[in-house]
Amino acid sequence: MLAGVIHQIMSGIATGGIYASVALALVMIYQATHHVNFAQGEMATFSTYIALTFINAGFPYWIAFLAAVVVSFAIGVAIERVLMRPLANAPILASVGVFVGLLLIVNSLSGWFFDYTIKQFPTPFPDRPMMGGYLSGHELGSTAVTLVVLLSVYLFFRHTRLGLAMRAAAFNPTSSRLVGVRVGWMLALGWGLAAGIGAVAGCMVAPIVFLDPNMMSGILLYAFAGALLGGIDNPLGAVLGGFAVGIIENLGGAYVVGTELKLTLALAIIVTVLTIKPTGLMGRKVYSRV
């Protein structure tokens, strides 16, 4: 029993890492633009297909992985420049509309370019149990990769000039523009980073759930739940929230609701957080002037 619980928690952490990265990507875009990117999951799926294409073309795994991240970064920047720019001050319905449109486009482009069949995705990690049999090689490896990504994102925002400029642009666009930060480009970079992080998450989750155009729709839901649980305006909160949701999902799926209602569990988390503590566990309360 105890071993079972530990096993569930460990693999909860492994999947939680993936939710945490997607949640972080969501929060980065939300912080800078106050938009929730409904197409985040679809974009990550598309990036995973790009990685698979490189792998099938004969490149080594890690080269393909890096290439996918770079290409996704470029796509993210392009989407911000072309589509999101004019939406900066648009009403909510317009921004939701455009994101839904983006979701539809990316989803069917994935199906069109790479066809709708379910594909296997390779893992670079050894296929044997690790940590005394609690984790598979891939779970351990993907957790390590997500932790590295999260740590480097943290270091980037904390200790580089560019990261500082991006935070400034998100925090107070007008003042940052006055001190010479190119706010528009900072937003585009934020989109690029979010897309890149999504690519990593996609490549890490694909070996577990297999690759098809709708791969990420459930994962996006958990990431939403994680972001909201931690506080949608707090990157650290979103990361912790993502891990927490991973653990809750695994424990809940194993012992409470069964695997068939796992998505409903995410819905329940979202509704509970939003009704009981809408700011999330670590979010700031927003006051508005009348």
- Nearest-5° Cα angle at 38, 35 to 42: 135
Give the one residue of 94, 118, 131, 155 binding another protein; rule: CB under 8 A.
Answer: 94
Residue 217 as a binder of another protein (CB under 8 A): the answer is: yes
The closest alpha carbon to 83, from 96, 100, 102, belongs to 102
Using a 10 angstrom Cβ sphere, with 0-12 exposed, 13-18 middle and 19 or more buried, the burial of residue 229 is buried
The closest alpha carbon to 195, from 89, 74, 35, belongs to 74
Instruction: Check residue 130 and report its DSSP letter.
Output: E
Residue 274 as a binder of another protein (CB under 8 A): the answer is: yes
Give the one residue of 10, 19, 28, 38 binding another protein; rule: CB under 8 A.
Answer: 38
Residue 88 as a binder of another protein (CB under 8 A): the answer is: no
Q: How far apart are CA 36 and CA 265, in angstroms?
A: 21
Query: Minimum Å distance from CB 119 to another protein?
Result: 16
Q: Which is nearer to another protein, 104 or 148 (CB)?
A: 104
Name the CA dihedral angle for 162, 167, 171, 177, rounded to a multiple of 10 degrees. 0
Residue 191 as a binder of another protein (CB under 8 A): the answer is: no
Question: Which one of the spans 28-36, 51-59, 149-157, 191-199 is the region binding another protein (CB under 8 A)?
Answer: 28-36
Task: List residues near another protein by CB under 8 A.
Answer: 34-36, 38, 83, 86, 90-94, 96-98, 100-105, 107-109, 111-112, 115, 217-218, 221, 224-225, 228, 260-264, 266-267, 270-271, 274-275, 278, 290
